[in-house]
Amino acid sequence: MALAAPVAADTDVLGLVSGTRGLGLRLRAEPGVGQYVLAVMPEGASVKVAESTADAGGSEWRQVSYGDVTGWVSSRYLATVTPIPTAEATRQPEATIAPTPGLQATASTPQDQADASSAGGTPVPEAGSEDRPAPSGREGRPESGSTQAIVDVALSLVGEAYSMGAAGPNAFDCAGLVYYVYAQQGIELERDAASQWQQGTPVERGDLRPGDLVFFRNTYIWGISHVGVYIGDGQFVNAVDEWTGVIISGLDESFWNEHYAGARRILP
């Protein structure tokens, strides 16, 4: 189904990014998930709302201006307020701009990124990593069979659902994912991230190799609170939340870089 014709707003409207659970909202060049990302707007950011349209799946998108950048966002994560306040009241910090056409932008704010809807209209936040290319192996392509198997199992779970307390086979929380991946190789780990942090041997960030566990602190509770499986090239597989599921993320993404705690090596 083709995109619906845009419908202009009757009056100027101020919109607020809302309901992203702190993940932020992607501003896209065209309406629809998968379109080029122009900027990432944090929760609570105010925007000037213009016309609306629907994507191929019938989900509503709104054209908005954020600072000097104009693009499209899903209306599901946009609360509107009328009329628009003074220019000074709606002044925004400079948007995070995607550096190269055709590549997804990585947020430089402490939030992950999120889109507001899937083709079917169900909220599916997009964390900005699922469309990363597969690791090229520049830094430490897996060499041993066991390490390769760990990476292969982790990658096979990308796209699975998140569920707090779950450890597979079809849904996972972060530590449950790590537990399940290693269990497939006959290695039994502890079941929570804080305990897994005590297993294996510490690894410097510059010495990471595929199969290592990467840990993060203070992501939603104090202390070690998140873990993933490193797969090379600065990327790791992790179960994020109910809206995101299992994805590939990057250690250089601002949120993960800010909360990085360290790594542990389980395999010899």
Out of 174, 218, 257, 259, the active site residue is: 174
Identify the pLDDT of residue 153: 94
Identify the pLDDT of residue 80: 66
CATH numbers and ranges of domains, the chain: 1-126 (2.30.30.40), 145-265 (3.90.1720.10)
Task: Read off the pLDDT band of 113 (50, 70, 90).
Answer: very low
218 carries an active-site annotation = no
Closest CA to 240 of 78, 104, 106, 114: 114
Report pTM: 0.50
Out of 170, 238, 257, 259, the active site residue is: 238
How far apart are alpha carbons 166 and 176 in whole angstroms?
6
3-state secondary structure of 222: coil
- List beta partners, residue 263: 203, 214
- Residue 130 confidence (pLDDT) above 90: no
174 carries an active-site annotation = yes
Strands 25-28 and 260-265: unpaired
257 carries an active-site annotation = no
CB-CB neighbours of 82 under 10 Å: 12
pLDDT tens per residue, range 141-171: 334 448 889 999 999 999 999 999 999 888 9
The number of helices, as runs of H, and strands, as runs of E, in the chain is 4, 15
